[in-house]
Amino acid sequence: MRAAGQPIGNADVTLNKFLFSYRNTPQKATKRSPAELLFGRRLRSSLDMLIPDVRNTLSDTATRNKIQHDAHTRSREFLPGDRVWAYSEKIQKFVDACITRHTPRTGVWSYEVEMEGVIRRRHADQLRRRHYVPPTVTEMGDVTDSC
């Protein structure tokens, strides 16, 4: 330890620091350190504490990107009775429709809609929320805005 230039002060602490450095240094034969082989990960040294962790930086960036992305997405959740525009393959346009029920067994974003007098299954991507639904007048003169 004298030859390495280490002060002899406390031999146990000096020996522990040396062994930690040795066990954390990658070996030529395995290209991995003994500690990494034993624990399955690299041990954190005081040098690692000085260098910022790239994974945390990437995680923070990914979180910010997700928040920004989510702010620009439209809601794809509908309730039974909601009036929507549903895509019709027959005429290749969106037509007036009404959500009858959510069908999670066939897919998380799957809904049954009543459109063109028939109940069909549609994915939420094929549905658009209607912001204004004009009320309808029944035969008896009652005004209703349900499906």
98 and 63: one domain? no
Residues 6+ apart with CB under 8 A from 74: 129
Domain boundary among 50, 71, 92: 71
Residue ranges making up the domain that contains 88:
83-144
Q: In this predicted structure, what is the pLDDT of residue 94? A: 94
Q: Which percentage of the chain shows pLDDT scores above 70?
A: 80
Q: Residue 3 — pLDDT band, cuts 50, 70, 90?
A: low
Q: Residue 93 — pLDDT band, cuts 50, 70, 90?
A: very high
Q: In this predicted structure, what is the pLDDT of residue 2? A: 66
Q: Are 105 and 87 in contact (CB under 8 A)?
A: no
Tokens of 58: 């990437």
Q: Lowest mean pLDDT of 8-17, 42-51, 76-85, 132-141, name the range.
A: 132-141
Domain boundary among 24, 47, 71: 71
Cα distances (Å, whole numbers) of residue 136 to 27, 54, 133, 140: 80, 59, 9, 11
62 and 88: one domain? no
38 and 60: one domain? yes
Q: Are 94 and 86 in contact (CB under 8 A)?
A: yes
pTM value is 0.48
Among candidate residues 128, 135, 137, 143, the one with its CA nearest the CA of residue 97: 128
pLDDT higher at 11 or 137: 11
Q: Residue 58 — pLDDT band, cuts 50, 70, 90?
A: confident
27-32 contacts: CB < 8 A, separation 24 or more? none
Question: Residues 120-129: pLDDT tens digits?
Answer: 999 999 999 8
Mean pLDDT, the chain, rounded, equals 83
67 and 94: one domain? no
Alpha helices (runs of H) in 1-146, residue ranges in sequence order: 11-23, 34-39, 46-50, 54-71
